[in-house]
């Protein structure tokens, strides 16, 4: 069996990139880094647990590493921040030792593409399942970060991309059906919307923003609660992923996947009316990169989140994932 020291040594070889802002990386008690001066730090962490967030049966090791970093990168995108450094802690069961390097390879591939340096972490045995926790440090210009709390009545509600693709792939995997390839890619290798988040934050176009990780119905409720507002969404405007429509069997079921499915890692944001033209311009610029933006409703006074469907308006219940309440 390989030792922790050997693993860390190989990690060092894989992760070492000379960067002026990194004085010391893997292999000492801590890493020493110097982010750009004059900016605020943005810090967050996300944990993935085997058989809660993924099953090894259908999530390859590289995707486990990718998804673990992508979850934090998506949070970073939702603040409008630039990611810089990450720490990865891995607990590895005896039957998964061979996976550890592939998990890190998946994480490093995404880290490289997003200019994130893996500077530390921890590796340990696990008598239970596989566990990975990624802490991410980014930075942002003062006063530019976009929180969940800034939505105001009459703001427009936008989402990026399409919703329900990851949930469609998950459903196919759970039923042991071959998933739609595009949906499978979205589920296994989600692409955090860093450029979009940074563009919205830099131009101060979004009044509130968060990423959709637990399902639109759950996350819009969180944004509204943080902003002390309500929302009225239009079912017809919600961008349902084609794969969700295909696997769902009915338009209602497809809408349910898009509203409640989770793991979309798209951005949900609100825009004051006067900023809408600038957002629509940004949409044109981003369309060339394959990122679409949809306006799905308005912010309202009060606290209710409503959905209008076929002329009728009903309360939209949070139907997404609560990590304490359910298993996948």
Range 169-188, binding a second copy (CB under 8 A): none
Taking the C-alpha atoms of residue 258 and residue 264, their distance in angstroms, rounded to an integer, is 9
User: Please, which residue, 66 or 235, has the CB nearer to a second copy?
Assistant: 66
Tell which positions 281-320 bind a second copy, by CB under 8 A: none
- Residue 221 or 247: the one with the smaller Cβ distance to a second copy is 221
Residue 191 lies near a second copy (rule: CB under 8 A)? no
Q: How far is the CB of 66 from a second copy (least distance, A)?
A: 17
Q: Taking CB under 8 A as the rule, does residue 96 contact a second copy?
A: no
What distance in Å separates the CA atoms of residue 315 and residue 202, rounded to the nearest whole number?
Answer: 34
How near is the Cβ of 81 to a second copy at its closest, in Å? 7
Q: Which stretch binds a second copy (CB under 8 A): 20-28, 158-166, 244-252, 290-298?
A: 20-28
**Residue 264 interacts with a second copy (CB under 8 A): yes or no:** no
Beta bridge partners of 82: 139
Classify residue 188 as left (phi > 0), alpha (psi -120 to 50) or beta: alpha
Nearest residue (CB) to a second copy, 29 versus 284:
29
Closest approach of a second copy to the CB of residue 42, in Å? 5
Judged by CB, which is closer to a second copy: 102, or 222? 222
Token pair recorded at residue 259 = 């509203």
Residues 30-49, one symbol each (x = binds a second copy by CB under 8 A, - = not), give xxxxxx-xx-xxxxxxxx-x
Binding positions for a second copy, 221-240, rule CB under 8 A: 222, 226
- Residue 67 sits in the site that holds a second copy (CB under 8 A): no
- Closest Cα partner for 210 from 167, 159, 276? 159
What is the rounded CA–CA span in Å between residue 204 and residue 208? 10
131 near a second copy, rule: CB under 8 A: yes
Cβ closest to a second copy, residue 84 vs residue 179: 84
**DSSP secondary-structure letter at 145?**
-
Rounded Cα distance between 209 and 305, Å, is: 16
- Site residues for a second copy, window 142-161 (CB under 8 A)? 142, 145, 147-149
For 129, counting Cβ atoms within 10 Å of its Cβ (0-12 exposed, 13-18 middle, 19+ buried), the class is middle
95 binds a second copy (CB under 8 A): no
CA separation (Å) from 76 to 209, 213, 271? 11, 13, 19
Q: How far is CA 251 from CA 51, 119, 236, 241, 256, in A?
A: 29, 46, 10, 12, 9
Query: Residue written as tokens 């995108």?
Result: 77
Min. distance of Cβ 105 from a second copy in angstroms? 18
User: Taking CB under 8 A as the rule, does residue 126 contact a second copy?
Assistant: yes
Other beta carbons within 10 angstroms of residue 225's beta carbon come to: 14
7 binds a second copy (CB under 8 A): yes
Among 14, 109, 135, 141, binds a second copy (CB under 8 A): 135
């Amino acid at each position: 069996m390989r030792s922790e020291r050997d693993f860390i040594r190989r990690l060092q070889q894989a992760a070492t990139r000379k960067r002026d802002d990194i004085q010391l990386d893997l292999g000492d008690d801590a890493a020493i880094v110097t982010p750009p001066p004059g900016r605020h730090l943005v810090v967050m962490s996300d944990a993935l647990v085997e058989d809660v967030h993924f099953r090894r049966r259908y999530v390859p090791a590289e995707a486990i590493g990718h998804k673990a970093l992508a979850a934090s990168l998506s949070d970073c995108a939702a603040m409008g921040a630039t990611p810089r450094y990450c720490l990865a802690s891995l607990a590895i069961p005896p039957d998964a030792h061979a996976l550890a390097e592939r998990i890190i390879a998946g994480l490093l591939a995404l880290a490289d593409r997003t200019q994130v340096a893996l500077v530390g972490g921890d590796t340990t045995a696990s008598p239970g399942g596989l566990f990975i926790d990624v802490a991410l440090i980014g930075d942002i210009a003062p006063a530019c970060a976009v929180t969940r709390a800034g939505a105001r009545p009459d703001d427009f509600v936008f989402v990026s991309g399409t919703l329900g693709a990851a949930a469609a792939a998950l459903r196919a995997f759970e039923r042991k059906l071959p998933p739609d390839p595009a949906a499978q890619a979205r589920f296994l290798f989600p692409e955090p919307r860093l450029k979009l988040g940074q563009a919205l934050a830099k131009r101060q176009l979004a009044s509130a923003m968060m990423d959709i990780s637990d399902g639109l119905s759950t996350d819009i409720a969180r944004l509204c609660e943080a902003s002390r507002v309500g929302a009225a969404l239009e079912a017809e405007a919600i961008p349902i992923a084609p794969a969700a429509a295909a696997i769902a069997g009915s338009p209602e079921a497809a809408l349910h996947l898009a509203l409640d499915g989770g793991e979309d890692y798209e951005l949900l944001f609100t825009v004051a009316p006067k900023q809408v033209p600038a957002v629509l311009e940004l949409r044109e610029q981003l369309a060339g990169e394959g990122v679409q933006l949809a306006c799905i409703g308005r912010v309202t006074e009060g606290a209710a989140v409503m959905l209008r469907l076929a002329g009728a308006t009903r309360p939209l219940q949070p139907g997404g994932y609560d990590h304490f309440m359910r298993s996948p």
